Structure 1
Amino acid sequence: MTVTVNTRPTAEGLLLRPFEDADAPALIEAYRDDTLRRFTRVPVTDAEQAARWLGIQYEGRAAGTRYSFAVLEAGELVANVALKRGAPGGATAEVGYWTAAPARGRGVAPRAVEALTAWAFAAFAEDGLRRIDLLHQVDNIASCRVAEKSGYVFQELLTALPPEFPLDGHRHSRKALDVIERHGSE
């Protein structure tokens, strides 16, 4: 089956779709959580910041460098998952995500990350995508668990790069072949 970037990742019990302007109030609500704000870099505390955040998602999709999906459960925004590519046609990319506080601990992030990973390798196979990295700070234990549950294998300890990345981090990776072995020929 050939997948294009116009398709969407699929995960049981979740709807993954591109973000829309109508998601702004739910974004603002999600970003009221101290934990989410601690591990994300772009603040969203009001309508102007939500519009700026959404603009980053729209611009990245148009440029082919960022494919961000709102993750909904029962119609509510519960997470964000994004494939970040330095440039179209590159062999590597990065997955990023966050989970709204009320949805944590229910497997939302691993399901969304797994869905995005399978989608990305299928959508960009002919474009040369071979590896996706998942990066997190060492103190983000929950992200380490998400990486493991999503099949991302620990690769290395990353040195801190203050001020943007004040602490050391982990790099976990998945390779295209890993997804084929994990899912077969679905």
Structure 2
Amino acid sequence: MLIESRAPGTPSTPGVTLREWSADDLDDLVHAYQDPVLLRWTSHPVTSAAEARRWLEATQRDWADGRRYTFAVVEERADGARLVGNVVLKGVTPERPAPEVGYWTASWARGRGVAPRAVTALSRWAFDRFPEVARLDLLHQVDNVASCRVAQKSGFVFQEVLPARPPFPLDGHRHALHA
């Protein structure tokens, strides 16, 4: 059984728009994953066009399944829109106490507040769309200081240290945001 959603809509906030990924994003997706920092923190790297196609197809299946919602983060600029990241709401099921928010930011967009704005927009959208969801979790490995800052800037409060579990070799932090 899936959690019922209420408000369709696409999340956005000043400067960034969140939208479903499309086949047109393939080259930008592969380019973003050439970043060694992104590769260090991700458990599902995209290193080729074939992997990018599979990743994009999986995001479409996830939307249809209704348990995971992955958005491309696009920055509106004077010279046009540019892909700057990804945010995802994972585990939207009655069996899970709180869905998890995940994200990454392309190297060319880091340090400008893109991630906190995108995570905040996704969080607002999640609480509006799924009224029975009372809490969202954001998890990261303890040595990912940048993710800790993003969680805090997005209103997520540190809750606990979680023991390491594959594929992550170190303990993690759980931050929570309540509706």
What is the TM-score normalised by the length of structure 1?
0.88
Q: CA deviation at 1:89?
A: 7.6
Structure 2, gaps ≥5 residues long: none
* Aligned equivalent of 1:43: 45
Of residues 151, 165, 170, the one that matches 2:168 is: 165
Flag as ranges the 4+ runs of structure 1 deviating above 2 A. 86-91
Q: CA deviation at 1:67?
A: 0.7
For the residues of structure 1 that align with 2:120 and 2:83, how far apart are their CA atoms?
Answer: 18
* Aligned equivalent of 2:99: 93
For the residues of structure 2 that align with 1:68 and 1:86, how far apart are their CA atoms?
Answer: 12
Of residues 106, 118, 123, the one that matches 2:124 is: 118
* Aligned equivalent of 2:33: 31
Q: CA deviation at 1:99?
A: 0.1
Equivalent residues of 1:3, 1:119 under 8 A apart: no
Mapping of residues 1-186 of structure 1, within 5 Å = 4=7, 6-73=8-75, 74=77, 75-87=81-93, 90-125=96-131, 128-162=132-166, 164-176=167-179
For the residues of structure 2 that align with 1:85 and 1:173, how far apart are their CA atoms?
Answer: 15
For the residues of structure 1 that align with 2:53 and 2:148, how far apart are their CA atoms?
Answer: 30
Q: CA deviation at 1:55?
A: 1.7
Q: CA deviation at 1:87?
A: 2.2
For the residues of structure 1 that align with 2:10 and 2:92, how far apart are their CA atoms?
Answer: 20
What is the TM-score normalised by the length of structure 2?
0.91
- For these two proteins, the number of residue pairs brought into alignment is 171
For the residues of structure 1 that align with 2:59 and 2:94, how far apart are their CA atoms?
Answer: 15
Q: CA deviation at 1:174?
A: 0.4
SS of residue in 2 equivalent to 1:156: strand
Q: CA deviation at 1:16?
A: 1.0
For the residues of structure 2 that align with 1:41 and 1:90, how far apart are their CA atoms?
Answer: 21
Structure 1, gaps ≥5 residues long: 177-186
